[in-house]
Amino acid sequence: MRKIVDSPVPPPAVRQVVVGTEHEGQRLDNFLLRICKGVPKSHIYKAIRDGQVRVNKGRCRAETRLASGDTVRVPPLRLPAPGATPPAPPAAFPVLYEDEHLLVIDKPAGVAVHGGSGVSFGVIEQLRAARPDERLLELAHRLDRETSGVLMVARSRKALVALHDMMRESLGRKHYLALVVGDWVNDRQHIRLPLLKYLTPDGERRVRVDALGKPAHTIMTLQRRYAGRYSLVGAELRTGRTHQIRVHLASQGHPIAGDEKYGPDAVRAALAAQGFRRMFLHAHRLEIPHPVSGAPLVFEAPLPPACRALLDQLEHARS
Name the residue among 113, 112, 20 with its Cα closest to residue 72: 20
Residues 102 and 9: their CA atoms lie apart, in Å, by 40
Other CB atoms within 10 Å distance of the CB of residue 156: 20
| Neighbour tally for 202: CB within 10 Å | 5
Q: Cβ distance 119 to 163 under 8 Å?
A: no
Altogether, the residues listed in the chain come to a count of 319
Burial zone of 141 (CB within 10 Å; 0-12 exposed, 13-18 middle, 19+ buried): buried
Give the residue among 215, 225, 156, 213 at the shortest CA–CA distance from 186. Answer: 225
Helices (H) and strands (E) in the chain, counts: 7, 15
Is there a catalytic annotation at residue 144?
yes
C-alpha span between 314 and 287 (Å, rounded): 30
Exposed, middle or buried: residue 92 (CB in 10 Å: 0-12, 13-18, 19+)?
Answer: exposed
Q: How far apart are CA 93 and CA 303, in angstroms?
A: 15
Q: Which of 144, 210, 259, 265 is catalytic?
A: 144
Angle at 209 between CA 204 and CA 211, to 5 degrees: 120
CA distance 280 to 306: 9
Which residues does the annotation mark as catalytic?
144
